[in-house]
Amino acid sequence: MDGWAHHLIIAPIVLPLVAGALLAVYDERRQFLKGLINLVSTLTNLYIAIVLLQQADTSTTGVYLLGNWPAPFGIVLVLDRLSAMMLLLTAVLACASLIFSLARWHTAGAHFHTLFQFLLMGVNGTFLTGDLFNLFVFFEVMLASSYGLLLHGSGPRRVQASLHYIVVNLTASFFFLVGVSLIYGVTGTLNMADLAVRIPALPTENRLLFEVAAAILGIAFLVKAAMWPLGFWLLSAYPAAAAPVAAVFAVLSKVGVYVLLRLCPLLFGTQAGEMAGYGGTLLLVGGLATIAFGTLGVLASQAMTRIAGFSLLVSSGTLLAAVGLSNAQITGGALLYLVSSTLTIGAFFLLIELIERGQNPGADVIAITAETLGEENGEGGEAEVGTGFAGTPAVLGACFIGCALLLIGLPPLSGFVAKLALLAAVLAPAEQGATAGIPVANWVFTALLLLSGLAALLTLSRVGIRAFWAPIDTVIPRVLVVEFVPVIGLLLLTLGLAIKGGSVMRYMDETARAMHAPSAYVDRVLMAPRVPPAEAGR
Amino acid sequence: MQLLLAISIGILAGSGVWLLLRPRTYQVIIGLSLCSYAVNLFIFSMGRLRSGAAPILSSRTGSLADYADPVPQALVLTAIVIGFAMTALFLVVLLASRGLTGTDHVDGQER
């Protein structure tokens, strides 16, 4: 990797930063221009993510030394298969929700486009960084823009939800800081690869302190991933958010899962000596509890947005439990499940807004548009005149069935393939021999995962009948074609994931194997060559 | 010095948590500020407490043991900036909530 290809690693951070800063310059009357800049930047981001994915898949781990300082001393960006995959997932979801928002939602409040780009920057940075403190900084960039985006559209409900969301996340950030600084105090480094080297060499008297630090740090990520006793904030925040915002937030809750996926095998893998497998049981039990709670919630919910929120909990719980089981095969299945469920829930959040627009004409969308109209004159008005097209109910229904199939985990879409891959790995007999058998936890995991599918089936049938068949005086929602495009696009992507299941699964398995054998990652980061001074001065 | 610092961090964090759990938004924001002070001091103390030691090398000779660890000081600076920005942002949301709901209860309604 040399020349421009090397510098491409930093592009997913710099591009949204520049675009976001540029967008902040124009005022709110230039909506078309702002939308265009945002769209160009987001599409470029998608293209870069695809190139980076190919790069990560064909060559070794890419390391980018910021400021040309060697690894444990300077800050590094690391691109491996896992981060490339997450970048692409984010980019896809961002494109979908941006296109969706361009139809009407982006005018519902100020600075939507700027915040959107900064959110992308924060999320991309989180996936690329190889340093714990930088992780905190990107986390905060992401959270700060998510606070703004959650408020997008305003209204008492959103402000109330934001208030709770901000307090919970700020508190989680304090845990993050305490954990990070304690880790620095114990080990003297914050570079993830360097940490992995130093952990086995920790003196025994410092081990307890390090475990405390890791536990405190873990709380911050578990709050973000919404593990059972820490996840109640999600259910008031996400359903309150504007639809395109909620769709992007679907990937936000996966950020916590990503960090755990990254750190658990790296720091507490088999090479960690006495600390190997630290926290695994907690993640497993917590994940199972989250699935159980999410399943009950799905069964009990009436509003579709709450069903989507609880589905997100189920998906988080499944992933956490899979991280807790800490096994390369299971992780491979879990990665596919992560991609599939994130796309699904993103599409579902977008779809819900379209469906509920029909059920409840004059719902909060219009109230909000009227609110902004008072301040801004014009713009909002034309969003109302949108020409819906005749087949709207049929397309909405088809999309709903698609989302339902994905959430339940029925063929032919990727929800089925992902659950199959996960369960096949969970129920694969242990390698040590026939005597080991399958642990009870794995059976519980399987049962809960299948039950969650059943709960989704029951609830979605009930809600679907009520939304599409039961109404007598059906109001056909005015939906623009451009609002269908992202939903259908995401659903087609999941279909593609299922069709190309073989090659996708190969990628996931290689990712998982690399994660569980982190010595290659560690070597690449710590041995990363500096750019010679002459070239650096260019 | 260590005992004094530990006690002050404890008092700040304790008061912060208590205020965080109170029902008024103003109490919550003060609680958040106190917690962030406690956390900042904690980060700072992770570089080990030293007095009269500079964090920047002044000459090429001499022992590194004469210097304080600069990394926690850099970290705490970042944390202060971010914490400050978040407090400002929370203040705006707090005011918006007060304006929209007419109460300063965190749930937007009196119980």
Q: Which two tokens stand for residue A242?
A: 């504007």
Residue scoring higher pLDDT (A390 or A461): A461
Rounded to a whole number of angstroms, the distance between the first and last alpha carbons of chain B is 45
State the sign of the Cα–Cα–Cα–Cα dihedral A156, A157, A159, A163.
positive
How long, in residues, is chain B?
111
Residue A178 predicted with pLDDT over 90: yes
| Residue A473: per-residue pLDDT | 63
Q: Which residue has the higher pLDDT, B59 or A509?
A: A509
Under an 8 A CB cutoff, do B93 and A174 touch?
A: no
Backbone angles phi, psi at A62, to 5 degrees: -90, 135
Domain spans of chain B?
2-49+68-101
- Convert the pLDDT of each residue in A307-327 to its tens digit: 999 999 999 999 999 998 888
Encoded tokens for A18: 């520049």
Least confident of A65-74, A111-120, A126-135, A319-328: A65-74
Residue type, A305: T
pLDDT of residue A379: 38
> Which residues of chain A are within 8 Å of residue B50 when distances are taken between CB atoms?
none
* Chain B nearest C-alpha distance from A185 (Å): 5
* Spatial distance between the Cα atoms of A177 and A194, rounded to a whole number of angstroms: 19
Decide if pLDDT at B36 tops 90.
yes
E strands, A173-259, in order: none
pLDDT at A388 (0 to 100): 55
Using an 8 Å Cβ cutoff, are A61 and A524 in contact?
A: yes
Return mean pLDDT, chain B.
88
Which residues does B6 contact at the CB level (< 8 Å), separation at least 6?
none
Q: Which of A274, A165, A257 is nearest to A218 (CA)?
A: A257
What tokens were used for B101? 């709901």
CB A408 within 8 A of CB A415: yes
Q: Compute the Cα dihedral for A241, A244, A248, A253 and give only its sign.
A: positive
Phi, psi (degrees; rounded to nearest 5) at A471: -60, 135
ipTM score: 0.93
Cβ of A364 under 8 Å from any chain B Cβ? Answer: no
Q: Which residues of B touch A (CB under 8 A)?
A: 20, 25, 28, 32, 35-36, 39, 42-43, 46-48, 71-72, 75, 78-79, 82, 85-86, 89-90, 93-94, 96-97, 100-101, 106-108
Report how far residue A324's alpha carbon sits from residue A449's, in angstroms, rounded to the nearest whole number: 15
Report phi then psi at A237, rounded to 5.
-80, -55
Q: Rounded to the nearest 5°, which phi and psi values hold at A239?
A: -65, -25
Strand blocks (E) in chain B? none
Cα of B86 to nearest chain A Cα, Å? 7
pLDDT reported for residue A434? 52
In residues, how long is chain A?
538
Burial label for A204, CB within 10 Å (0-12, 13-18, 19+), is exposed
- Helix, strand and coil percent figures for chain A, each rounded to 5: 80, 0, 20
* Model confidence at A534: pLDDT above 50: yes
Whether residue B40 has pLDDT greater than 90:
yes
CATH topology for the B2-49+68-101 domain: Helix Hairpins (1.10.287)
User: Residues A335, A86: contact at Cβ < 8 Å?
Assistant: no
Cβ distance of A166 and B106 shorter than 8 Å: no
Residue from A121, A316, A160, A107 nearest A230 by CA: A316
Total-model pTM: 0.89
Q: Which residues of A touch B27 (CB under 8 A)?
A: none
Q: Which residues of B touch A144 (CB under 8 A)?
A: 85-86, 89
Please report the pLDDT score of residue A19 as a whole number: 93
Angle at B25 between CA B91 and CA B41, to 5 degrees: 70
pLDDT, mean over chain A: 84
Q: Per residue in A388-443, pLDDT tens?
A: 566 777 888 888 998 998 888 888 888 898 899 888 888 886 665 555 677 888 88
Percentage of residues of chain A with pLDDT beyond 70: 90
A62-65 and A76-79 beta bridge pairing: antiparallel
Classified as helix, coil or strand, A189 is coil
Report the 10 Å Cβ neighbour count for B5.
14
- Max mean pLDDT range (A419-428, A457-466, B2-11): B2-11
Beta bridge partners of A63: A78
pLDDT at position A392: 79
Among all residues of chain A, which has the CA nearest to that of B47? A185
pLDDT above 80: residue A198: yes
Enumerate the residues of chain B whose CB falls inside 8 A of the CB of residue A162.
93
Q: Which residues contact B42 (CB under 8 A, 6 or more apart)?
A: A177, A178, A181, B9
CB atoms within 10 A of CB A292: 18
Q: Is the peptide bond before A229 cis (omega within 30 degrees of 0)?
A: no
pLDDT at A384 over 70: no
Q: Are B100 and A159 inside 8 Å of each other by CB? A: yes
The whole-angstrom distance between A520's CA and the closest CA on chain B is 27
Q: Is the pLDDT of residue A42 over 70?
A: yes
Residues of A whose CB is below 8 A from B97: 156, 159-160, 163
Give the count of beta carbons closer than 10 Å to the beta carbon of residue A44.
16
Query: φ and ψ at B24, to 5 degrees?
Result: -95, 140
Measured CA to CA, the distance from residue A90 to residue A86 in angstroms comes to: 6
Give the model's pLDDT for residue A169: 92
> How does B49-70 read in b/e, with b if 16+ C-beta sit within 10 Å?
eeeeeeeeeeeeeeeeeeebbe
* pLDDT at site A385: 41
Type of residue found at A78 = V
Angle at Cα A280 formed by Cα A164 and Cα A236, nearest 5°? 15
Each domain of chain A, given as residue ranges in start order, spans 4-370+391-427+439-536
